[in-house]
Amino acid sequence: MQSNGSLALYVHIPFCAKHCAYCDFNTYVEKQPAVVQRTVDAIRADICRSAPAASGRVVETVFFGGGTPTYLTGEQLTSILQTVRECYEIAPNAEISSEANPGSSDAAKFAVMHDAGFNRISIGVQSFDDTLLTALDRFHTSSEAENAMQAARSAGFDNVNLDLMFGLPCQTLSLWHRTLERACELEPEHLSLYALTLEPGTLFERRHAGGKLALPDEDAELEMYEQSIRMLQSFEYEHYEVSNFARPGFRCLHNQVYWHNGEYLGFGPGAVSYVEGRRYKRERLPGRYAAKLESCAPLEVETETLDCCGALGETMMLGLRLREGIDTVRVAARFGIDPLIYFEKQIERLVSSGLLEKHGAILRLTHRGLLLANTVLGEFLL
């Protein structure tokens, strides 16, 4: 596998004001400012310490995720981004994104972030229905979500994403339609739509197992998804990936690195890196993470090295999420293995079932395959 010389960076901010009932991300409710600052200092040290791994590489995208990056002060976020700039070669037109929660975002904080160089904001709205937000254990209201969007605009952001969720407890098709409609009225450049997933160990998973969580059935969830596609396309959003829609020119560049199975470095508690076929994860607990940075101890707690066949399968699985499909000639050149031959049986079965379609070297999901994407994509992970 050959690197193209570019690189993506991910910064994980592990703190939230509240832990949502459906979330299984590496997040912590932390009220002590000193603990938060210690973690910020550790992240900055991690960024500097990892710089040799990026020698000679140009960074095209930087993404602050979490957790809730905007749980930090604007000055703390700025200090982390400044460290990134000092230690890495950042492309002049790099996409620099941050997730934001409506409950911890305001015009002043967004202005500080914009002045520091952030140029894309992703706001975790989830729903414009206050009853559903309460059911999700979110601590913001629909009006606060709208205010966050307006605050981002007033701070100068012209590239804004809204995250929305469907398949929520007691959510109906008409409620989902109203959320989509309100989102479109706000005119974001990008929309990410996710079906609720019951992750193991979450409160939602336990409630559902105990019969205390009423969710739309599979047919209703698929109807919500198809309604999303029709409606957003009517508002001139391009459906470019299974869960993502964008105005022309506003696809998320950072996430496309993942979908093309590109290389990235991750910083912060629990962050994952993927370089030269090797994937490794950092210490998850903020206290232990900071202690390891302070003592110059190794940060890695999990690691795996993929052979060409494993990396090929992941590349197929990720790339087929893109609506334009995957160019099998380019994939073959990258790995020295023709995926049409290596996965011949799977591809033939999926094409004959109407889940994949092949146009020359391009392999892509059909509409039916899109509705069953998880099943189809799992065929390429041997």
- DSSP string covering 280-316: EEE--SHHHHHHHHHTT---EEEEEE--HHHHHHHHH
pLDDT for residue 312: 96
202's CB contacts (< 8 A; 6+ apart) are 21, 22, 23, 24
Q: 280 is written with which tokens?
A: 């490794």
Closest residue by Cα to residue 267 from 37, 65, 82, 70: 65
The answer to whether residues 229 and 338 belong to one domain is no
Phi, psi of 119 (to 5 degrees): -130, 5
The answer to whether residues 253 and 329 belong to one domain is no
How big is the CA angle at 137 (ends 269 and 375), to the nearest 5 degrees?
A: 70
Looking at residue 322, the DSSP 8-state letter turns out to be: B
DSSP codes of every residue in 115-151: HHT--EEEEEEE-S-HHHHHHTT-S--HHHHHHHHHH
pLDDT for residue 1: 36
pLDDT for residue 31: 87
- How do the residues of the chain divide into helix, strand and coil, expressed in percent and rounded to 5? 45, 25, 35
- In sign, the C-alpha dihedral spanning 180, 378, 304, 86 is negative
Q: Which domain holds residue 359?
A: 308-377
Exposure string (b/e) for 183-192, b if CB count within 10 Å is 16 or more?
bbebebbbbb
Number of neighbours of residue 139 by Cβ within 10 angstroms: 16
pLDDT for residue 137: 84
Q: Are 130 and 170 in contact (CB under 8 A)?
A: no
268 domain-assigned: no
Q: 255 is written with which tokens?
A: 């996430």
The answer to whether residues 254 and 364 belong to one domain is no
Number of domains composing the chain: 2
pLDDT for residue 190: 98
Number of neighbours of residue 367 by Cβ within 10 angstroms: 11
289 domain-assigned: no
The answer to whether residues 130 and 42 belong to one domain is yes
Exposure string (b/e) for 47-70, b if CB count within 10 Å is 16 or more?
bbebeeebeebebbbbbbbbbbbb
47 domain-assigned: yes
pLDDT for residue 214: 87
Q: Could you say which of 259, 290, 322 is where a domain stops?
A: 259
Task: For the chain, state the CA radius of gyration.
Answer: 21
Strands in 362-365's sheet, in edge-to-edge order, are: 326-327, 362-365, 356-359
364 domain-assigned: yes
| CATH assignment at residue 134 | 3.20.20.70
Looking at residue 366, the DSSP 8-state letter turns out to be: -
pLDDT for residue 19: 81
Mean pLDDT, each 10-residue run in order, the chain (382 residues): 72 92 89 96 97 93 96 97 97 97 93 98 96 89 96 98 96 96 98 94 90 92 97 98 98 97 97 95 97 96 94 97 97 96 97 96 97 95 80
Residues shown for the chain: 382
Long-range contacts (CB closer than 8 Å, 24 or more residues apart) made by 288-294: 289/39, 289/42, 289/46, 290/38, 290/39, 290/41, 290/42, 293/42, 293/45, 293/46, 293/49, 294/42, 294/45
The answer to whether residues 118 and 209 belong to one domain is yes
Compute the distance between CA of residue 97 and CA of residue 85 in angstroms, rounded to an integer. Answer: 14
Q: Are 373 and 194 in contact (CB under 8 A)?
A: no
The answer to whether residues 236 and 358 belong to one domain is no
Q: Could you say which of 259, 291, 321 is where a domain stops?
A: 259
Looking at residue 261, the DSSP 8-state letter turns out to be: T
Number of neighbours of residue 345 by Cβ within 10 angstroms: 9
26 domain-assigned: yes
| CATH assignment at residue 319 | 1.10.10.920
The answer to whether residues 219 and 339 belong to one domain is no
* CA distances, 231 to each of 53, 161, 167, 181, 224 (Å): 44, 17, 17, 8, 10
Exposure string (b/e) for 206-235, b if CB count within 10 Å is 16 or more?
ebeeeeebebbeeebbeebbeebbebbeee
pLDDT for residue 4: 52
In the chain, the N- to C-terminal Cα span, in Å, equals 19
Closest residue by Cα to residue 323 from 254, 381, 237, 382: 237
Number of neighbours of residue 169 by Cβ within 10 angstroms: 19
